[in-house]
Chains A and B, each alone.
Chain A
Amino acid sequence: MNQNKNQIRRAAFLTLALAGACLAGCQGNPAVNAPPLTAQQAAQPVKGNITVWSWNIAAKALQDIAPSFERAHPGTRVNVDLTGAQMQTRFMLSLAADVGAPDVSQLQITDAPHYMATGKLADLTAVAAKYQSDFPASRWAECVMNGHVYAIPWDLGPVAIFYKRNIFTEYHIDPSTIHTWADYIAAGKKIVALSHGKTKMLALGVSGLADMFEIFLQQTHGQVFDDAGRIAIDSPQARKALELIREIHNAGITLDINAYGQEWMAGFNDSTLATYPGAVWLGGIIKDSHSKFEGNSTRWGVFRLPAIERGGVHVANLGGSVLVIPKQCANKAAAWAFVKYALCTKQGQLMQYEKESLYPSFLPALKSKVMDKPDPFFGDQPVGRLFARDVQKIWRINRTANWAEAESYIQQDLSQWAAAGMPHDHLLKTLAVSLHQRLDVPMAPASELSQAAPEVQQ
């Protein structure tokens, strides 16, 4: 009797549990790829919930503009999801499985081509092509693949030199006299000599080499991949970039610590480092975290990126993000309306700039008077304007689907080059071959690479 009861209970439990699992399991329905977005659809009033994946201050910036977007589009609700761990991996998994991707997602500009190549992002050409002239040409090109627009540029990362006014004053250096990298090195030598080696000009650890290389490659108008996607790194431009890095390294003005590490951050507030070459967003990091480290209060300023030679370009770009809409998004019209509001309107871009210092790549926003505002943190310098200069001259780097991967190999090999004092040619040759092997991409013929760089596209 007792045993019988036990059996019934067991059987009931099992059935119940399996039934429960069945019911609950059926919830996750397979996503169907909604049809592409058309201009007519985009013109209709939109409503519904939009989920956005983003991180850090970028996410905060979207939260800042969400209320005004919701006011302008009654019936919409923007939900910015900040849970950041492994966001880009989870996004790719959702793209691969056609389920679970947000309606709008942030991607880093360097990663974006990889996602665009999957064919799982919505083609925005029909609605977004008209904004092409509103963005720096180089940045827009990075959002286009095979003639289709898959992403909209968000923030831009123009590079300049953040310097400490108190140190420059102490050693009588006028930043306005630094035009070229040679001037910069000379100033550095002076600071190192006068401070008896206590203060170095910049940090140049192994992990910072790739950034430096990318800056110089843009200034020399070099490429990693040519327009046809072939490997083009073994070029006179890249050689010049390496020469410059080694020149800076050998001048004795660098401190061998890694960018974004604890020591590097601690340098914000002491006198170990005089300058930090970096993109505009580095300013935000300095503002946010300098007070966390001990030391006397540093007075900061910014001067423009030195050119390779007098009259050369004073701009380069590091980083920045884009917003994309996955194909599986069910409410593309609303998602696009939000992206358009956030990135293709002066109002949206400037609000993000003013509240979270997210530097716009939308040209009309860069022309605004807001950019002329003096920044008290930088000694009342109108920093926004400084970074906006010549953004149209930023050199277009050909980012292919395996850009992020190539970047990691370049970084690895650069650190070996620096550590072993390898000749430039040797590095570039081995790098070209190893990129060819590891990415399975053909190499551009040497004859094409030895030619002088083409003129800057205006």
Chain B
Amino acid sequence: MNKAQKPNVMALRLATYIMLTLLAVVFVFPFYWLFTASFKTQAQIFVTPPHWIPSHLMWSNYTDLFQQTNILRAFFNSVVTSAGSVLLSLFLCSLGGFAFAKYPLAPGNNRMFAFVLGTMLIPGAVTLIPTFEILVHIHWINTYWALIVPGAVGAFGIFWMRQYMGANLPDDLLAAARIDGCSEFGIYWRIAVPIAQPALAALGIMNLIGSWNNLMWAFIVLRTPSMYTLPLVIYLMQGEMSTPWGMLMAGGVFTVLPLVIAFLLFQKQFVAGITAGAVKQ
């Protein structure tokens, strides 16, 4: 019976492979189109029938990009704001998560933690306008702080770190460290942080995707070209009437590439980071 089924199973698997590959091609196509368009002239981008493969690699879009726009500055801005928010958030979330996980007897621990979880219910849309106003009043509009600080400690990050540390940080180890005269912060920094590295990586990657890609908040708080991040530069390159498509595509490649490379190198951590979000159900 098993043998009789075999050709059928093979046919089914082959069909699955073909379908899966086709769909994979469809999913990757926009990246391919972005990449090839960055080597085409304006006319070549819009030609019908389309040039599936560029006739030759034309680098002028990239040279234009670096000469006519402030893309390197934007790259720097993106790196600073992303690194700033990822690091600050990792530090504060792991510190908070550590405290919630490892001081269960501290009066109010449970209630405070429930409160932290409760804050997850607040949609960002409600707090957007007042946050803008606060930043106006403390003169943080058009600074890196505006992108780094307001979202630095997410309730989810604390929850995530607490769960991980609760499960993976043996109390004996902490007790032993205390006996050795290690300070509480020292326990966190020297023992908890190294052990929580996988969780930190996942959380960090989640934050990185969010801050690297952030468009709306950047659009609102960054006011001068010298402060623009990459997504904002890309967005504003679209003119009302004329858009330099080739250059825009080159800028797109420049914006996407760091994340794509990071993703291909650390696929496991990325997946873990995204899956982290699912735990909260």
Binding site for B on A (CB under 8 A): 3, 6-7, 10-11, 13-14, 17-18, 20-21, 24-30, 55-56, 82-87, 90, 93-94, 96-101
Binds A, one of B5-13, B40-48, B81-89, B154-162: B81-89
Q: Within the complex, which residue of B81, B84, B142, B194 is in contact with A99, where a contact is CB–CB below 8 Å?
A: B142
Name the residue among A82, A96, A98, A99 with the largest chain B CB count within 10 angstroms: A99
Kindly state the separation between the CA atoms of A99 and B220 in the bound complex, as whole angstroms: 12
- Give Cα distance in the complex from A17 to B235, angstroms: 27
- Measured between beta carbons, the chain A residues less than 8 angstroms from B239 are 55, 82-85
Residues of A near B77 (CB, < 8 A) are 24
Residues of chain B lying within 8 A (CB to CB) of residue A97: 132, 135-136, 141-142, 221, 223
Pairwise interchain contact A25-B194, C-beta atoms closer than 8 A: no
- Chain A residue at smallest Cβ distance from B141: A97
Q: Name B residues whose Cβ lies closer than 8 Å to a Cβ of A.
A: 77, 80-81, 83-84, 87-88, 91, 132, 135-136, 139-145, 148, 189-190, 193-194, 219-221, 223-224, 226-227, 235-241
A18 contacts across to B, CB distance below 8 A: 84, 87-88
How far, in angstroms, from A55 to B194 measured CA to CA in the complex? 54
Q: Contacts of A98 on B, CB cut-off 8 Å?
A: 136, 141
Shortest distance from the beta carbon of A8 to any chain B beta carbon, whole Å = 11
Residues of A contacting B226 in the complex (Cβ-Cβ under 8 angstroms): 27
For A25, what are the chain B residues with a Cβ–Cβ distance below 8 Å?
A: 143-145, 148
Residues of B within 8 A of A90 (CB): 219, 223
Residues of B near A28 (CB, < 8 A) are: 140-144, 223-224, 227
Select from chain B the residue with minimum beta-carbon distance to A25. Answer: B144
**Which residue of chain B has its CB nearest to the CB of A81?**
B225
- Secondary structure of the B side of the interface? helix
In the bound complex, what is the Cα–Cα distance between A88 and B148 (angstroms)? 26
Q: Bound complex: CA of A241 vs CA of B238, how far in Å?
A: 39
A83 near B236: Cβ-Cβ < 8 Å: yes
Q: CA separation between A275 and B145, bound complex, in Å?
A: 56
Cβ of A84 and Cβ of B240 under 8 Å apart?
Answer: yes
- A-B CB proximity, top 6 nearest: A100-B223, A30-B139, A25-B144, A21-B84, A28-B142, A84-B240
Listed by A's residue number, 16 A-B pairs whose Cβ atoms lie within 8 Å are A6-B194, A10-B193, A18-B87, A21-B84, A24-B80, A27-B226, A29-B139, A56-B241, A82-B239, A84-B241, A85-B236, A93-B220, A97-B132, A97-B136, A99-B139, A99-B141
CB distance from A255 to the nearest CB of B (A): 25
Residue among A90, A97, A100, A101 facing the most chain B CB atoms (10 A cut-off): A97
The answer to whether B87 and A14 touch across the interface, beta carbons within 8 angstroms, is yes
Residues of B within 8 A of A100 (CB): 141-142, 223-224
Bound CA–CA A45/B132 (angstroms): 39
Instruction: Check A83/B237 contact, CB under 8 A, given A14-B91, A25-B143.
Output: yes
Cα(A85)–Cα(B235), bound, Å: 8
Name the distance in Å between A357's Cβ and chain B's nearest Cβ. Answer: 15
In the docked arrangement, what's the CA distance between A97 and B146, Å? 12
Q: Which residue of A lies closest to B239 (CB)?
A: A84
Residues in chain A near residue B139, CB distance under 8 A? 29-30, 99
Residue of A6, A25, A56, A86 with most partner-chain B CB within 10 A = A25
Give the complex CA separation of A90 and B235 in angstroms.
13
- Chain A residues in 8 Å Cβ range of B219: 86, 90
List residues of chain A with CB within 8 A of the CB of B194: 3, 6-7
Smallest CB separation, B17 vs chain A (Å): 42
